[in-house]
Amino acid sequence: MGRRETMKTKIDIQHLSVEYGRGAERFTALADVSLTVREGEFVCLLGPSGCGKTTLLNAIAGFERPTSGSLLIDGSPVDGPNPRHTVVFQDYGLLPWRTVERNVGLGLENRNLSPSGRQQTVDRCLDLVGLTAFRNYYPEQLSGGMRQRIALARALAVDPDMLLMDEPFGALDVITRARMQDELIRIWQTCAKTIVFVTHDIDEAVYLADRVVIMAPDPGRIKAVKTIDLGRGRDRTSVRFMAERDQILEIFEMKNYTEVEFYL
């Protein structure tokens, strides 16, 4: 069990299917997916393009309605987006005409907060992602890594109990990406949130996750769920890290070699 986990179930998915289109156009994006995620757990959805990772994340976020099956969060059916479950996208979704601090405060504007309470929250979140010195900059003046930090700070500002992240570091260079992974782990350890993180990068999944949900396409489904048996402060070059990585590769290779070519 990961450090931040409790025994409480946060997400309970049973026999979930999502189909797009109708009639001859009908397409099964997810078939019979069952998964439970505990409160405080860090779970990665891993798999090649088109295996339904985004569809599953969007269903959890309430953006996508399942065709069949059940999807409960905190014991209640998901019936639409919920501000307590914030989504962080790869393209940041920042407003270019707003400064860093006004981007971070976006989600607080329609809340019943005093200006000083709002400012305190913005300050705390800017500090958490190391952007205090850049508060008056505009997104276009900052690097990709810093923009992703703004998006993360904005997500954290509304104090969600769950972060849903869709390949958030996919556009970053390798070094910035490794830094962001460390920051995310640090934030997760500080704030005790449930995180569902989509990636197609095996190393990223092994580095971040308590458990990796290994998905496969045609139709989108869960192939295996792998617990990562490593503590925190993981060493990407250690033998045990490599072993976890190899086991995941093996799961991809076992049944259908073409599914793994994507990663090699």
Nearer to Mg ion, 129 or 212 (CB): 212
Nearer to Mg ion, 53 or 245 (CB): 53
Nearer to Mg ion, 88 or 157 (CB): 88
Q: CA 147, 149, 153: angle at the middle one, nearest 5?
A: 120
Residues in contact with Mg ion, shown as a per-residue x/- string from 44 to 83 under the rule CB under 5 A: ---------xx-----------------------------
User: Residue 147 CB, nearest distance to ligand ADP (Å)?
Assistant: 21
Q: Distance (Å, rounded) from C-alpha 205 to C-alpha 113?
A: 37
Residue 2, contacted partner among ligand ADP, Mg ion, none, CB below 5-8 A by kind: none
Burial of 261 (0-12, 13-18, 19+ CB in 10 A): exposed
Nearer to ligand ADP, 53 or 245 (CB): 53
User: Residue 195 CB, nearest distance to ligand ADP (Å)?
Assistant: 17
Of the candidates 172, 183, 101, the one whose C-alpha atom is nearest the C-alpha of residue 143 is: 172
User: Residue 3 CB, nearest distance to ligand ADP (Å)?
Assistant: 28
Binding site for ligand ADP (CB under 6 A): 20-21, 27, 29, 47, 49-55, 220
Please, where are the H alpha helices in the chain? 53-61, 100-104, 115-128, 144-157, 174-191, 202-208, 239-255, 258-261
Nearer to ligand ADP, 52 or 168 (CB): 52
Token pair in block for residue 1: 């069990």
Residue 29, contacted partner among ligand ADP, Mg ion, none, CB below 5-8 A by kind: ligand ADP
User: Residue 54 CB, nearest distance to ligand ADP (Å)?
Assistant: 3
Residue 55, contacted partner among Mg ion, ligand ADP, none, CB below 5-8 A by kind: ligand ADP
Closest residue to Mg ion in the complex (CB): 54
Q: What share of the chain is helix, strand, coil (3-state, %, to 5)?
A: 40, 25, 35
DSSP code for 256: -
Residue 37, contacted partner among ligand ADP, Mg ion, none, CB below 5-8 A by kind: none
Question: Which residues have C-beta within 8 Å of that of residue 77, sequence separation ≥ 6?
Answer: 70, 71
Nearer to Mg ion, 17 or 54 (CB): 54
Q: φ and ψ at 99, to 5 degrees?
A: -70, 170
DSSP code for 237: T
Region of residue 114 (phi > 0: left; psi between -120 and 50: alpha; otherwise: beta) = beta
Nearer to Mg ion, 131 or 172 (CB): 172
User: Residue 194 CB, nearest distance to Mg ion (Å)?
Assistant: 20
User: Residue 62 CB, nearest distance to ligand ADP (Å)?
Assistant: 15
User: Residue 246 CB, nearest distance to ligand ADP (Å)?
Assistant: 23
Exposure string of 40-72, with b = 16+ CB inside 10 Å and e = fewer, is bbbbbbbbbeebbbbbbbbbbbbebebbebebe
Binding site for Mg ion (CB under 5 A): 53-54
